[in-house]
Chain A
């Protein structure tokens, strides 16, 4: 028997067996589907959150506030220091006059109440650092530069988004780990469910297994349909999980304008590689469960 003939036989027997014990097979498929859905859901959500974090990171700006009485030479010295690293894309100096203009544009009413602010508001010059998104710094590199800048007597304050961005990244990482752990735990449970279902299938087919052995079937031929049963159940579970997730994504994405969070966590669906991985994971878990269930001797009275 050729390999293709064997595969065809195994799969057709597996489908026939699943049809025969459809109740147990459905439970197994749902079990693996739920576990993969949970894992894939967290991958989807954290993937989109991660992309949002990356976008924030690209727009990350660091503002270095100088003393109010800083001279032009102080400003030039600071700019020279800040422009040195390759990952610094721009250093824009905002003069006190430009600062007042921004304030006027942003808060015109408050500015007018303060008597146009000419004398009341004494703003310091600010150096705004733009990071090159294509060449982001290591956290240590960024910290070293900020430390060096802070050490200058002319620098009053450094304001950057690193702290809250770091917290956001930590939250995303924890959520991802939580989701993957939950998914992995459920996957293990689903694998054992499939193992039990395959064992049950083998028990239902014990008479046929006996006959197969009596007429001279090899163990590969006897066990093949059982392995195929686990593999097909896992495959169906993976496809079902993806289809369900895809449906949820489509529904939520169509109403994304109504919520603030939907565009953040459901902006994009999983990439094809991730989708393929989920299906392969389901099939592998099913196959593993089947192998575990008949690793010794499939039920039957004939050896």
Chain B
């Protein structure tokens, strides 16, 4: 699903965010991108959904080379990717339903289709009864679930979550991760940037650890509690 070849990203001031990163994430995998703050997790995600361009190397996402993808094609790449952020990025003046409807609307769905799809997506994340609420009327966990519903409304092939539980307490975090795992169970490739090692221990999966922009670990964690001690450090 995702393949990176010798990816390097440097910023104009010369700061190296990623250095010679090569990795592969299979279709349908649950992958965790971990590492300390500033390790390059968010930068790698931005390169994958083409918010930024690599300075060097190639990134193939679902068969598309995003490093050479023309700007006009970027929207079509993003329609196959669901993205969730730590700060939810919900529009406060729009209802929950309207927040979830963006993708069907730009795809030209009728109002009824938009509503049906949004209600289904909200039901999938357990918020069927909150469609007319406004984001600020919801708890943090609920807001993140709305963001997840928005990301999953069109059943994307890839779901990217950048620190999705960073603003949530342990209980709410567990709920969100359960939803991510549920999406993976339905065939979506899920890539989660997190430094929450307990989550990784609990669910296992493909663990990619970045350190100062370099990929220092690329392992499959099969069972709960099997995260390497090195990663914990």
A residues adjacent to B (C-beta < 8 A): 1-2, 5, 9, 20, 207-208, 210-219, 221, 302-303
Contact = CB atoms under 8 A, between A and B. Distances in A.
A207 B91 contact: yes
Contacts of A20: 93
Interface stretch (B103-111, B164-172, B177-185): B103-111
A215 B102 contact: yes
Given A207-B91, A210-B89, A211-B89, A216 B106 contact: yes
Given A1-B105, A1-B106, 15 more contacts: A5-B108, A9-B105, A207-B89, A207-B91, A208-B91, A213-B78, A215-B78, A215-B79, A216-B75, A216-B79, A216-B103, A217-B102, A219-B72, A221-B106, A303-B51
B89 A2 contact: no
Contacts of B94: 208
Contacts of A212: 102, 106
B150 interface: yes
Contacts of B108: 1-2, 5
Nearest to A207: B91
A280 B184 CA distance: 54
Given A5-B108, A212-B106, A302-B51, A218 B89 contact: no
Nearest to A5: B108
Contacts of B106: 1, 212, 215-218, 221
Interface in B37-79: 49, 51, 72, 75-79
Nearest to A6: B108
Contacts, number: 49
B85 to A, nearest CB: 9
Interface of A is mostly: helix
Contacts of B191: none
Contacts of A2: 108
B83 interface: yes
Interface string B98-121: 000011011110000000000000
A137 B170 CA distance: 95
List 7 tightest A-B contacts by C-beta distance, closest first.
A1-B108, A216-B79, A216-B78, A216-B75, A215-B103, A217-B106, A215-B102
Nearest to A9: B105
A212 B101 CA distance: 11
Nearest to B99: A211
Contacts of A213: 75, 78
B89 A214 contact: yes
A18 to B, nearest CB: 14
B78 A214 contact: yes
B105 to A, nearest CB: 7
Interface string B132-161: 000000000000000000100000000000
A213 B108 CA distance: 16
Contacts of A303: 51
A196 B28 CA distance: 47
